[in-house]
Structure formats: C-alpha cells, structure tokens
C-alpha cells in the first residue's frame, strides 16, 4: 500500500454549507469568508451554486460573489456547482473555470434535487462538455450524489454507482467526486466502492465528499485515503446538512479533517490556527447557527486547561 | 490482513461519562441506565469507579450500584475502575470481579489524576495482583491513560507507552487498554502503537479507548480495528470529557461506534434502536446535559424526511 504524502482539501462551505441557511448572506460577507478560507491555505474553494434563485435564494448573489473573488483573491481555484447547461453558461460567463456538475445516482433523489432523471442529467452534462472548448481552461468535475445512500431509497446499489462512473468516464470526464450526500456511508462500503473505482478507472482522479451526519466523516475519509483517494470536500465549521432532516449535521468540518491529516503527518497546505480564526469569523456572520466543529469546540491539543480526570 | 467478524464494545458511560457531571445521579437511576444498556445488548459495562467520594462525589453510591446490578441484571460482565489497592478491595468486596486498574503513562497526568508516579501505581497493581487469587474469577485489565497524548506534556513518547505495556506484561497482565484520555490521538499514531503492541505482545488482548474530543474517535477505532484490535470502550450519548476543558466532548458515543461497525457488517451484539432508546432515557435523567451523539441527533438511515438538496 503506497501512502500519499499529501491530500487536497476542497472547501465547499460557501456552497454546500450556506445553501441550508435560512438567512441570506450578503456578498461582502461571503467574499470575506472566502478570503479567510484562502488565507488559511485552502486552494480549492466552491463559491456557490449557479442555480435558480427561486430554488435556493442563498445563491441570488452568486454572480457577484464569483466575479469579486476571481478579481480580488489570487492563487485559488474557484469552482461552482452547476446542475444544468444554464448554470454552466452562467458560471463560465462569470469567469468560473472549474465546474462541479452534480447529479444523483438515485433517480428518486435526482428528480427531487434537480428535477431530472439521471439520464436527463447526462444529456445536460454532454451539452456542457460541448461548451467547454469555447472557454479557455474550463474543466468539469462530476459530483455523483447519493453514491453511499439516498434519503428516499436508502440503499443505492453499488453496481448503479459504477454504471454512472462508467457513463461519465465514457463521456470523457476524468474528475469524479463520490458523494455521501446524507451521511449514510460506512468505511467498509467506502473501501469497496473506492477499490473498484480506482482499479477500474485508473485515469480518473476521484474525490470523496462525506457528510458527517452520523459521525463517520473522518472515518470514511481515512478509509478512502488509505486506498489512494487523495482529495476530499469539506465545509468550514461543519456547515451544511439537510434542511429537511432536523438536527442532522452537515459536511465533515474542514478543520476536523485538516486536523486529522495534519496530525497523521499528511500535508494539507492548510494553517489550522488560521482555519480556527475562520470559524470565529463564521460565528460572527451567522451567530445563530450552531456549528458542528469538534476542533473549534475543543481547541488544538495543548490548549486544554490542567487537570483532566482519569 | 485478517478481518475480525465481530467486535466487543465495552460501555464506560456509567463511569467515564457520569464522573464529569456536576449533578449526582441516584442509585436507582444509575441502575436503570445500566439495565437499559444491558437490554440493548451491551455485555460489558463499567459501573463506576471505586475511588474516594471526596475526589469524585458521583461515585459515593458505587457500592450500592454495584451490588444492585450484580444481583438483578444477569448475563453482563460488570467491571469497575480502581486506581489503587483500597479501590480494588472495595470493588471485590461488592462482588465486582473485573477490575480496570488505571494509571497514566504520563507522570504529570498520573500525579494529577491519582496522586502517584507511574512506578507507585505499579506497586499498587502488584498488590492488587496478589489479592486476586483470593477472589474466584477475579481479573484485572490495565487501562494505560494518556497513551495517545497528555493535557500536561501534550506528546507522550511512544517508547514510554511500550515501556509500560512491557512492565505490566511482565507482571502477568494480559488485558491492556490503550486510552486516548483527552482525544489527542490520530489514526497514524494508532496504527504505529497498535502494530508494535500486537506484534510484540501476542498474548495480550488489547482494547482501545478513544475520546472523541476532536472528532476522530471513530476514525481512530477504525484504524485500530483494521490492524486487529477488536475491543473498544465507548460511552452512551458520548458522555464524558474533561471537566477542566470547557466544550470538550467526551468518549466516542456507543451508538455512533456501534452504528459504524454494524453498517460495516461487523457483529456487535448490540441493538441500535434499543441503544437510541437508552439515549432517550439518559436525556430524561440528565436533561440539562448536552449529549454528543451524532446518531441520536440524525437518526438511523431512512429516518430522514424527504427532500435533501444536492
């Protein structure tokens, strides 16, 4: 087993995290949050989603946020979620060059989420891939939602996951994110799917996206990492989660996962103290939201007061 | 790599969990909690600590709790924490036959925790081992606190851990628990220590005790399990933590770890729905305590309402 020496952490908090909030975050605050994240060392940041503002009002200012960060924050690869051609065109028009095209392996979830069957989503993807040559440097990552479970059908057959990996691979996609959208995944399932994906599609760069809904975000990431997956989505403060599952927590917190890898001696490029400052900034802009960040709550080792018992 | 097919989960909530609470829990409620745990399938339960009630008032009723559960709940191995000979004698007198003798690898922590150097603790252990033959069926597990880090000296040299494993092994102890007392451990460190311990002491049954203070409890357990450690301490509701580190969370929640292993197809002997009922009971008896249980918050997969977004 070859161990990677570094890992790529992609920050999705400004998208996956903020989309669940009931309060609208102003452009300036979103840009400041992204600036904080960049200064903590995050080099890949998902700025939001190019979706209908009727569906997700939080992204009503996505164009302005995108243009501002591209213009004013350098050295970061900004990406945006797009569910269809319209979103892709809008994102590309704003200067975004890294598109995260999302669709669900589970038909029930895809219909609920983006209003299409998976096959219809693949047609959108095909159209987006046709567009790319017109935009210098443009690239697509496909996010396979509900890879590890679906809130509607619960268990998603692994053959179905592999089928869609194969389909997008045949379309020429070489970056695929396996998403545990609702935190149903377990390490053994991750090992099975990762093993098959890595061996069957050696020319694909796989990423994983693990919600920490049931506390297994870091365990699942560890399982994937040990097999050779070296890229993970996370959200600052553990933001995110499903607005329709009260109490469910969100993405694995960026600071928790960065802490795990950093303590393991795996390079992340991230300054954890600066990340904790970013969590403090986040608390200022959304004081009423309870963050799910173990590290922010407990502090770095050595920050404890004296005198723990047994 | 040989995969175990089952894992042993030892419930330490009534001890490690309750000791940090400011409110005193009456005997009847403690016994009811232990009864709930037993009926959820937990077969090893730590009922409390035989320590000075001045040091930990919560254990003022430990003798009564022990006698009651031994008399009225069958099919469970009850164990109790003891830090010295006096505690061991008291526990054995109450009918407890499984002693968890605790001392810290870190001298600073051991002095603070039990008022002795590690060498002085070893003298207590020697005296306890001399006592055992007088009590039929009595056995000792040694809990090596601060194996993965110490709140005073932060990093604990791994050679020092191995030194104390060797010393207690030379004294005839064959059950040793490696404890991440304050949640400083990381999976790579767990892998290193577990690999050395398992290969150097093949006649020892090792257990791990991972606090989830920084969110890595399940990841650390996974790392240990994959190497062959098949026994883990956990606490219902994620109870525990350090009373001197505000906000720090406690042990890995029994329900989270049982969920992880169960979803992985590893037999735990535990009914997770009943465990979640036990969490509800715990909430009734300590309504003001915030539990750190991902599973209790989110529910089992499939319990979600419809309609998660992306």
Q: What is the pLDDT of residue B4?
A: 54
Q: What is the pLDDT of residue B20?
A: 84
* Residue B274 three-state SS: helix
Residues of chain A with pLDDT > 90, as a percent, come to: 86
* Residue A263 three-state SS: helix
* Residue A99 three-state SS: strand
Contact (CB<8Å) B213/A298? yes
Q: What is the pLDDT of residue A280?
A: 97
Gap between the Cα atoms of A265 and A22, Å rounded? 38
Gap between the Cα atoms of B77 and B100, Å rounded? 12
Domain presence at residue A1: no
The CATH number covering residue A12 comes to 3.20.20.70
Confidence of residue A248 (pLDDT cuts 50, 70, 90): low
Contact (CB<8Å) B154/A301? yes
Mean pLDDT of chain B: 93
Q: What is the pLDDT of residue A89?
A: 98
Per the structure, the complete domain to which residue A203 belongs is given by 8-298
Q: What is the pLDDT of residue A146?
A: 95
Contact (CB<8Å) B309/A242? yes
Phi/psi of residue A77, each to 5°? -90, 110
What is the arithmetic mean of pLDDT over B187-204? 98
Residue A247 has pLDDT above 90, yes or no: no
Residue A226 has pLDDT above 50, yes or no: yes
Nearest to A154 among B183, B189, B301 (CB): B301
What is the arithmetic mean of pLDDT over B163-171? 98
Tens of pLDDT, residue by residue over A262-276, are: 999 999 999 999 999
Contact (Cβ atoms closer than 8 angstroms) between residue B26 and residue B238: no
What is the arithmetic mean of pLDDT over A138-161? 96
Split into its structural domains, chain A has a count of: 1
Q: What is the pLDDT of residue A242?
A: 62
Contact (CB<8Å) A256/B145? no
Contact (CB<8Å) B152/A306? yes
**Chain A nearest CA to B199, separation (Å):** 19
pTM: 0.94
Cα B82 to Cα A18, A89, B141: the distances in Å are 48, 67, 10
Chain A residue closest in CA terms to B188? A264
Q: What is the pLDDT of residue A271?
A: 98
Q: What is the pLDDT of residue B104?
A: 96
Domain presence at residue A310: no
A223 neighbourhood in chain B, CB within 8 Å: 222
Domain presence at residue A131: yes
Contact (Cβ atoms closer than 8 angstroms) between residue A7 and residue A235: no
Contact (CB<8Å) B294/A249? yes
Residues of chain B with pLDDT > 90, as a percent, come to: 86
Mean pLDDT of chain A: 93
Tens of pLDDT, residue by residue over B232-269, are: 999 999 998 765 555 567 899 999 999 999 999 999 99
Q: What is the pLDDT of residue B305?
A: 43
Confidence of residue A77 (pLDDT cuts 50, 70, 90): very high
Nearest to B183 among A112, A247, A298 (CB): A298
Give residue A14's Cα distance to chain centre.
10
Tens of pLDDT, residue by residue over A57-76, are: 999 999 999 999 999 999 99
Catalytic residue among A179, A208, A242, A308: A242
Contact (CB<8Å) B187/A264? yes
Q: What is the pLDDT of residue A5?
A: 84
What is the arithmetic mean of pLDDT over A248-257? 90
Domain presence at residue B310: no
**Chain B nearest CA to A146, separation (Å):** 9
> Nearest to residue A251, comparing CAs of A264, A263, A265, A241?
A241
What is the arithmetic mean of pLDDT over B69-74? 98
Domain presence at residue A273: yes
Gap between the Cα atoms of A86 and A59, Å rounded? 14
Within 10 angstroms of residue A133's Cβ, the number of other Cβ atoms is 8
Domain presence at residue B161: yes
Domain presence at residue A85: yes
The DSSP output letter for B65 is H
What is the arithmetic mean of pLDDT over A146-166? 95
Q: What is the pLDDT of residue B302?
A: 81
**Chain B nearest CA to A191, separation (Å):** 10
Gap between the Cα atoms of B24 and B83, Å rounded? 21
A256 neighbourhood in chain B, CB within 8 Å: 214-216
Residue A310 has pLDDT above 80, yes or no: no
Tokens 């036959």, residue located = B97
Contact (Cβ atoms closer than 8 angstroms) between residue B114 and residue B103: yes
B197 is catalytic: no
**Chain A nearest CA to B185, separation (Å):** 8
Contact (Cβ atoms closer than 8 angstroms) between residue A118 and residue A102: no
Domain presence at residue A257: yes
Nearest to A294 among B181, B213, B301 (CB): B213
């Amino acid at each position: 087993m070859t161990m990677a020496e570094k890992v790529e952490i992609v920050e999705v908090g400004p998208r996956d995290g903020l989309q669940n909030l009931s309060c609208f975050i102003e452009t300036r605050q979103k840009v400041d949050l992204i600036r904080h994240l960049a200064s903590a060392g995050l080099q890949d940041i998902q700025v939001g989603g190019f979706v209908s503002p009727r569906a997700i009002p939080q992204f009503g200012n996505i164009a302005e946020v995108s243009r501002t960060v591209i213009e004013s924050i350098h050295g970061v690869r900004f990406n945006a979620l797009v569910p269809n051609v319209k979103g892709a065109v809008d994102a590309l028009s704003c200067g975004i060059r890294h598109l995260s095209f999302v669709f669900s392996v589970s038909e029930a979830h895809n219909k609920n989420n983006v209003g299409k069957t998976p096959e219809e989503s693949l047609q959108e993807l095909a159209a987006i891939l046709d567009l790319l040559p017109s935009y210098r440097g443009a690239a697509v990552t496909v996010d396979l939602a509900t890879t590890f479970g679906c809130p509607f059908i619960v268990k998603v057959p692994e053959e179905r996951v592999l089928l869609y990996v194969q389909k997008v691979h045949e379309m020429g996609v070489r970056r695929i994110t396996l998403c545990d959208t609702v935190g149903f995944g377990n390490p053994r399932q991750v090992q099975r799917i990762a093993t098959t994906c890595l061996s069957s599609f050696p020319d694909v760069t796989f990423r994983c996206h693990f919600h920490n809904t049931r506390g297994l975000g870091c365990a699942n990431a560890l399982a994937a990492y040990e097999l050779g997956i070296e890229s993970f989505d996370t959200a600052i403060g553990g933001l995110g989660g499903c607005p329709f599952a009260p109490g469910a927590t969100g993405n694995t917190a960026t600071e928790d996962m960065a802490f795990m890898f950093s303590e393991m001696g795996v390079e992340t490029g991230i300054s954890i103290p600066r990340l904790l400052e970013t969590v403090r900034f986040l608390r200022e802009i959304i004081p009423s939201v309870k963050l799910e960040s173990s590290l922010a709550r407990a502090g770095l080792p050595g920050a404890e007061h004296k005198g723990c018992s047994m």
